[in-house]
Amino acid sequence: MKILILGAGGIGGYFGAQLIRIGADVTYLLREKRKALIDANGLKIQSPYGDFAVQPKIVTSETVTAGYELIVLASKSYDLDDALESLNPALETAVVLPFLNGFDHLDVLDKKLGRERVMGGVAHIAATIKPDGVIQQLSDIHMLTVGPRHAAHEGLAKEFFSICESAPFKTALAEDIEQVLWDKWVFLATLAGMTTSCRASVGDIVATPFGEELTRQMYAECCAVAREFDHPVSQASQAKALDMLTQQGSGFTASMLRDLLAGSQT
């Protein structure tokens, strides 16, 4: 399978590099500045599981062509329009697998390409790009969940899942990927809402008198939203999420907080 990954940040960079390590046919579509840095130094990963570097194939919006079976979209949601414009030559027949948070991007992609060419994906990782371009994994969590949203790409979803099974990260093939997306949205809306508004980690928040109570109330409110959209979060998923969101001493924060503190766009 020929895979094109747009973006070499925390998601695209980390998981793409791991796929390259196992011999997957991966090419990156990057901006010139990021391409030059990786061409010169390699795509470097710092991870609790061991540091490594790969030298990936890279194209830009000026040199990208058609011929890819799967396009992994790992940009920020606010960059979606620019991402699609840069991908245009490669979008002829490829199926797109977005790892963006939320749901608006699915509406945009479905309208542009048709639901039959838009798979579903959820990435679980805490990672950031350091000033020198190195991708630093901030915790031991690293998992991709993929799933079909249309019968037309069920086979491709299974094939990509099979490739990921050989990689050194966790992976799952979901029967109902949209429920997985909702589960993550509820979790992330709570995590980002709490850590960003409080300018603090999970551990610091729950150490305050009403921190855990407020976190649980926010999570319950987000669960109510999911129920209104006919995607109620299971009790098992709620228990797992709340364990992470209320863990004492946890340094866990949302990437939105890290971006905010760095003065980056959120």
**Mean pLDDT on 238-263:** 92
> Which numeric CATH code is attached to 180-262?
1.10.1040.10
Token output for 160: 């990509």
Quickly state the pLDDT bin for 259 (edges 50, 70, 90).
confident
pLDDT at residue 71 above 90?
yes
**pLDDT value for 76:** 81
Which of 236, 250, 137, 235 is CA-nearest to residue 191? 250
Domain segments of the chain: what residues?
2-175, 180-262
pLDDT at residue 266 above 80?
no
**pLDDT value for 255:** 86
- Encoded amino acid at 111, one letter: K
175-189: pLDDT as tens digits: 999 999 999 999 999
40-60: pLDDT as tens digits: 999 999 999 999 999 999 999
pLDDT at residue 79 above 90?
no
**pLDDT value for 92:** 87
Q: Across all residues in the chain, what is the average pLDDT?
A: 95
Pairing of strands 43-46, 52-54: antiparallel
**Mean pLDDT on 149-165:** 98
Quickly state the pLDDT bin for 208 (edges 50, 70, 90).
very high
Note the maximum CA span of the chain: 57
Percent of the chain with pLDDT over 70: 100
Which of 185, 170, 173, 162 is CA-nearest to residue 237? 185
Instruction: Give domain 2-175's CATH superfamily.
Output: NAD(P)-binding Rossmann-like Domain (3.40.50.720)
pLDDT at residue 77 above 90?
no
Report pTM: 0.92
CB 146 within 8 A of CB 120: yes
